[in-house]
Amino acid sequence: MANKTKRIFKRVLQYTVIIAITFLIISAGATKVIYDLCFPRYEGQDILFDEELTKLQEERQKAEFYSGENLLAGYLYSPADGTKENLVFFVLGMNAAVNDYLWQVKSFTDNGYGVFIFDPTGCGESEGKSAVGFSQILLDLNAALDFAEKEQNFGFERIFLFGHSRGGYAACCALHFGHDITAVASVNGINSAMEGVMMPAAKVVGDIAYSNYPLLWLYQVGLFGTEAVNISAAQALEESKTPALIIHSAEDEIVPTNRFSIISHVENTEYLTEIPEYDTDNKDSHAGILFDKDGKANKELFETVTHFFEKAAKAAENGE
Q: Residue 197's pLDDT is what?
A: 84
pLDDT digits (tens, 9 = 90+) for 139-152: 999 999 999 999 99
* pTM reported for the whole predicted model: 0.87
Q: Which run of H or E residues covers position 111?
A: none
**Dihedral sign of CA atoms 91, 97, 98, 101 in order:** negative
> How many alpha carbons lie under 13 Å from residue 39 in its C-beta half-sphere?
24
Cross-strand bridge partners of residue 23: none
Q: Which of 200, 206, 201, 267 is nearest to 233 (CA)?
A: 267
Q: Is 254 helix (H, G, I), strand (E, B) or coil?
A: coil
For the chain, the straight-line distance linking the first and the last C-alpha, in angstroms and rounded, comes to: 81
- Each residue's pLDDT expressed in tens, for the chain with a length of 320 residues: 556 666 665 665 565 555 555 544 555 555 565 676 778 899 987 776 788 888 888 889 999 999 999 999 999 999 988 889 999 999 999 999 999 999 999 999 999 999 999 999 999 999 999 999 999 999 999 999 999 999 999 999 999 999 999 999 999 999 999 999 999 999 999 999 999 888 776 665 567 667 778 888 888 899 999 999 999 999 999 999 899 999 888 878 888 888 889 988 987 655 554 555 555 555 457 888 898 888 889 888 999 999 999 999 998 888 76
> How many alpha carbons lie under 13 Å from residue 319 in its C-beta half-sphere?
0
Domain 50-206+231-317: CATH superfamily is Alpha/Beta hydrolase fold, catalytic domain (3.40.50.1820)
